[in-house]
Structure 1
Amino acid sequence: MKLATMKSNTNAKMVMVLILNLSLVFPYCYCYHHNHADSIVSLPGQPPHIDFQHFSGYVTLDNNNQKALFYYFVESITDPSSKPLVLWLNGGPGCSSLGVGAFSENGPFTPNEEFLIQNEYSWNREANMLYLETPVGVGFSYSKGSSSYMTMNDEATARDNVVFLQGWFNKFPQYRNRDLFLTGESYAGHYVPQLAKLMIEMNRKNKIFNLKGIALGNPVLEYATDFNSRAEFFWSHGLISDSTFNMFTKVCNYSRYVSEYYRDSVSPLCSKVMGQVSKETSKFVDKYDVTLDVCISSVLSQSKVISPRTKIEQRASERIDVCVDDKVTNYLNRRDVQDALHAKLVGIRKWGVCSDILDYDMLNVELPTLPIVGSLVKAGVRVLIYSGDQDSVIPLTGSRRLVQKLATQLGLNTTVPYRVWFGGQQVYITVNKLLL
């Protein structure tokens, strides 16, 4: 199972709520590797004359169980020798950083029928981007022992991810000492802090990772605060009635419903409340950006809205095809595409945006990671938390409350007052910066 409501719309208007000293200093190190075993010659439908190299393949985690994680690596368009290495993780848990992050959000291409279109907002314009399908059972990542899919949780995921990075650096040693940033969205609010914590612990014995910072988009940091802010969001945007809002806050809030659901003990009361919320919010509203359209063909195939069973929902922006997830699925299931990516299907018949075989311990969602973020700040790791203001899944309001809670606990001082940030003549975001 996966908490499919944990994908956030990072392409919507952004609101940065916490920035901790994001200045970057990059070491010089670069090697040309056109003949690298994982080098991608060309993806089907790829635009001609792209000005960067990209790679994909596997890193084996456990030779006994033959566990392997699949990655897609895109070097920076400009001066990759001086740009940092950024690891991107999507949430779910159980959803693909390849399909969601790389091919529909911040990667170099998005599919359009038979062709790939270059993304003018791709993050590899500023960094070397590494997309990881994690944990095993997600996307092209696999284990030949199916028991691995039955015992996956936050701790095991962090452990596998750190083993992956060690193996990946063996493939790309020129990046071993590069400034490293861990990023992601939604349930990556668990993945990223826990991975960063493990890295710091390992560095105390022998410095292995040049970890500089983390960035979290609409992250799950404290599930009660994050989830229960949905009611306020729905009501303030006119998506639910006053009476339903009162029920959703006083009778059965969303964190209670999720807690009951994953214990197979949903009460009739919570079932009634959630049924009414689902009815009023409608499956035809994009929960990741409530101002935009949805892909009708995908929505009609969903069984419920705002349910832990809901598959990853459609994310869109004014400049991105609202049916991009469908097109990504079709594209990544083409044999010629899989061959170009050096990918294989192990234990599955087709690639999926979110895993159908992974049995993740969903009670881990109740584990707060905000204290871990605080410990990272104390350890000198730079932290950026940003939130899309039209995302109803992990709303801005919850993230802002948690950031202020953390700032109070750590005694952070505001160095940049709350203000707008312009892109040309357009207001892009509002921003606030705090420092120890």
Structure 2
Amino acid sequence: MAPHNRTSLLLGFLVLWVLCAESSSSSPKAAQESDKIGYLPGQPSAPLLTHFSGYITVNQSHGRALFYWFFEAQSHPSTKPLVLWLNGGPGCSSIGYGAAAELGPLRVKRNGVGLNFNKYSWNKEANLLFVESPVGVGFSYTNTSSDLTTLDDKFVAQDTYIFLVNWLERFPQFKGHDFFIAGESYAGHYVPQLAEVVFDRNRDRGIYPRINLKGFIVGNPETNDYYDYKGLLEYAWSHAVISDQQYEKAKEVCNFTQENWSDKCNEAMSIVFSKYEEIDIYNIYGPRCLLNGSSSATGIRGGVLDLAITNKERTYAYRRMKRIPGGYDPCYSPYSEQYFNRIDVQKAFHANIRAPGSTVNWKTCSDPVFRTYKYTTFSLLPVYEKLIKGGLKIWIYSGDADGRVPVIGSRYCIEALKLPLKSPWRSWFHNHQVGGRIVEYHGLTFVTVRGAGHLVPLNKPSEALALIHSFLSGEELPAQR
């Protein structure tokens, strides 16, 4: 037997073993009932929501489990697609950001005192599944500390795939639904690589369960280090963040094709990032958080750093995607942390099962994951090429006020794919105004969202809902006012 086939077979047996161990503990109906949320503290009484949360084991021997929050679609859940949302970081919570700040139906109120209903939630269009990934993020955990020292893109893709297989065993009524993966930021790595794992294993039908994957959509995604950082530098200059002299100096000393930047490049890029300390790099026209001690007021994570750390550490930190929310309230992180660290919230959320009566120290972003994550993938473009040929529906969208993964870099990435043009660049409209621009290639669609930053569903919720409706339904974004 060929080595590749032996590896696939062994991985298949591993998935099936974990699946059986997970499903044998209780019936799907009983497990769903156990995970069903009756009421979260501060939850609005209307409209009525059906939602669940809990843990899915992904590695029984290591005691590794991922935490999820799932919302059925507001109407016709039995026929609507299933969308899995992932946030990036690495190390940031899809519950703290995607679910509770951006596209979920329940958003944390100012000062963390309760929840508001989000009338632009994506569960108007789909059944929404959020997972805190990788282990070490949010409520997700491992009993094997060495797991936290081996985290990389491959590790995350394997764990998330096993999570998905086991989650569908717990919720078998969604197995046949059209399935899409979505995410933003460093999930620009997670989403295509998870899609590739699902795509490959769907072809090994005798070993792996079939998942009805139809495509994926990513927002302001980190995709290719060279184009992303070339775009970051050009965006800072073209949007008057840095001077001509600073731009020319960085262009002269930086070679972004290299994984490790030179000392001169690090020094030049330190100046670029220092200018972003004055504003919000994730939404350059939005306000900056001024709360003392908040994660978005204490400097740019992945930006300006202590010069005493090593060149390698400094380079990795630049490449990381620490999340700072921009938009309506740039001080969101401390509010969400206040809410999700309440004992009554964690109890209602089924998040304190490891130590009943006590709280888990929940953070919007995990510093240990942020600092130890291994960056092993320079470019996702080969994965795009493979999945485009495989016929998946693929969209990239970009808030055009984001300085961290700017629209310029994403355009460079797409141009590098050299796809045939299907429909030329044009404006799309929303509420009688230009919502952004769209260009269609054979195999990929690129959409910009005018005035949005890094967190498009937070900054432009109505436009984001129109965007996901178009992606899922196939209806074109309006070409006229």
TM-score range, shorter chain: 0.7 to 0.9
Contact 1:108/1:119 (8 A) holds in 2:
yes
How far 1:145 sits from its partner (Å)? 0.9
1:89 — aligned with what? 86
Q: Where does structure 2 lack aligned partners over 5 or more consecutive residues?
A: 1-27, 305-316, 444-481
> Structure 1 CA distance, aligned partners of 2:439 and 2:30?
41
How far 1:305 sits from its partner (Å)? 6.5
> Structure 2 CA distance, aligned partners of 1:226 and 1:274?
14
In structure 2, what residue type is equivalent to 1:363? Y
Asked if residue 42 in structure 1 is aligned to residue 50 in structure 2, the reply is: no
Would the alpha carbon gap of residues 59 and 304 (structure 1) be closer, same or farther in structure 2, given more than 3 Å must change?
Answer: closer
In structure 2, what residue type is equivalent to 1:362? K
SS for the counterpart of 2:56 is strand
SS for the counterpart of 1:384 is strand
1:432 — aligned with what? 439
In structure 1, what residue type is equivalent to 2:174? Y
Contact 1:227/1:255 (8 A) holds in 2:
no
2:393 maps to which of 382, 402, 405: 382
2:381 — aligned with what? 370
Aligned residue runs from structure 1 range 409-424, under 5 A: 411-414=419-422, 416-424=423-431
1:237 — aligned with what? 239
How far 1:365 sits from its partner (Å)? 4.5
Q: Bigger relative contact order, structure 1 or 2, given CA contacts below 8 A and separation 6+?
A: 1
How far 1:251 sits from its partner (Å)? 1.6
How far 1:322 sits from its partner (Å)? 2.2
1:220 maps to which of 219, 222, 239: 222
How far 1:170 sits from its partner (Å)? 1.1
Q: Could you list the per-position Cα deviations for residues 269-295 of structure 1 after superposition, in whole angstroms to 9, with x for gaps in the alignment?
A: 23431332233x242311111011021
Would the alpha carbon gap of residues 304 and 145 (structure 1) be closer, same or farther in structure 2, given more than 3 Å must change?
Answer: closer
SS for the counterpart of 1:37 is helix
Contact 1:228/1:255 (8 A) holds in 2:
no
In structure 1, what residue type is equivalent to 2:71? V
How far 1:313 sits from its partner (Å)? 4.4
Contact 1:95/1:138 (8 A) holds in 2:
yes
In structure 2, what residue type is equivalent to 1:395? P
Aligned residue runs from structure 1 range 258-277, under 5 A: 259-260=260-261, 267=263, 269-277=264-272
How far 1:245 sits from its partner (Å)? 0.6
How far 1:255 sits from its partner (Å)? 6.8
Would the alpha carbon gap of residues 125 and 71 (structure 1) be closer, same or farther in structure 2, given more than 3 Å must change?
Answer: same
In structure 2, what residue type is equivalent to 1:364? T
How far 1:82 sits from its partner (Å)? 1.4
CA RMSD of aligned residues (A): 2.4
Would the alpha carbon gap of residues 313 and 92 (structure 1) be closer, same or farther in structure 2, given more than 3 Å must change?
Answer: closer
1:296 — aligned with what? 290
Q: Could you list the per-position Cα deviations for residues 335-361 of structure 1 after superposition, in whole angstroms to 9, with x for gaps in the alignment?
A: 111111101386996111111332544
After superposing on structure 2, the runs of 4+ consecutive aligned residues of structure 1 that deviate more than 4 Å are: 31-35, 253-256, 345-349
2:68 maps to which of 71, 76, 79: 71
Contact 2:424/2:440 (8 A) holds in 1:
yes
TM-score by length of 2: 0.77
Contact 1:69/1:164 (8 A) holds in 2:
yes
Contact 2:277/2:300 (8 A) holds in 1:
no
Aligned residue runs from structure 1 range 14-413, under 5 A: 36-112=33-109, 113=111, 114-206=113-205, 208-252=210-254, 259-260=260-261, 267=263, 269-279=264-274, 281-297=275-291, 298=294, 299-302=296-299, 306-307=303-304, 308=317, 312-317=322-327, 320-344=328-352, 350-358=361-369, 360-366=372-378, 368-406=379-417, 408=418, 411-413=419-421
Contact 1:302/1:311 (8 A) holds in 2:
no
Contact 1:312/1:353 (8 A) holds in 2:
no
Q: Could you list the per-position Cα deviations for residues 138-190 of structure 1 after superposition, in whole angstroms to 9, with x for gaps in the alignment?
A: 11100011011111111111111111011101110000111000111111111
> Structure 2 CA distance, aligned partners of 1:133 and 1:44?
21
> Structure 2 CA distance, aligned partners of 1:292 and 1:253?
31
> Structure 1 CA distance, aligned partners of 2:69 and 2:367?
21
How far 1:120 sits from its partner (Å)? 2.1
> Structure 1 CA distance, aligned partners of 2:400 and 2:73?
29
How far 1:205 sits from its partner (Å)? 1.6
Would the alpha carbon gap of residues 363 and 39 (structure 1) be closer, same or farther in structure 2, given more than 3 Å must change?
Answer: same
In structure 2, what residue type is equivalent to 1:74? F
Q: Quick check: 296-305 or 421-430, which moved more?
A: 296-305
User: Percentage identity across aligned positions?
Assistant: 39
In structure 1, what residue type is equivalent to 2:260? S
Would the alpha carbon gap of residues 222 and 385 (structure 1) be closer, same or farther in structure 2, given more than 3 Å must change?
Answer: same
Contact 1:244/1:276 (8 A) holds in 2:
yes
Number of aligned residue pairs = 391
How far 1:434 sits from its partner (Å)? 1.8
In structure 1, what residue type is equivalent to 2:100? F
Q: Quick check: 244-253 or 294-303, which moved more?
A: 294-303
SS for the counterpart of 2:203 is helix
SS for the counterpart of 2:228 is helix
Contact 1:45/1:115 (8 A) holds in 2:
yes
Contact 2:282/2:403 (8 A) holds in 1:
yes
> Structure 2 CA distance, aligned partners of 1:174 and 1:349?
31
> Structure 2 CA distance, aligned partners of 1:175 and 1:342?
22
SS for the counterpart of 2:33 is coil
> Structure 2 CA distance, aligned partners of 1:245 and 1:55?
49
Q: Quick check: 216-225 or 338-347, which moved more?
A: 338-347
SS for the counterpart of 1:293 is coil
Would the alpha carbon gap of residues 227 and 365 (structure 1) be closer, same or farther in structure 2, given more than 3 Å must change?
Answer: farther
Would the alpha carbon gap of residues 254 and 296 (structure 1) be closer, same or farther in structure 2, given more than 3 Å must change?
Answer: farther
Contact 1:80/1:128 (8 A) holds in 2:
yes
Would the alpha carbon gap of residues 245 and 325 (structure 1) be closer, same or farther in structure 2, given more than 3 Å must change?
Answer: same
Contact 1:182/1:215 (8 A) holds in 2:
yes
Would the alpha carbon gap of residues 253 and 344 (structure 1) be closer, same or farther in structure 2, given more than 3 Å must change?
Answer: farther
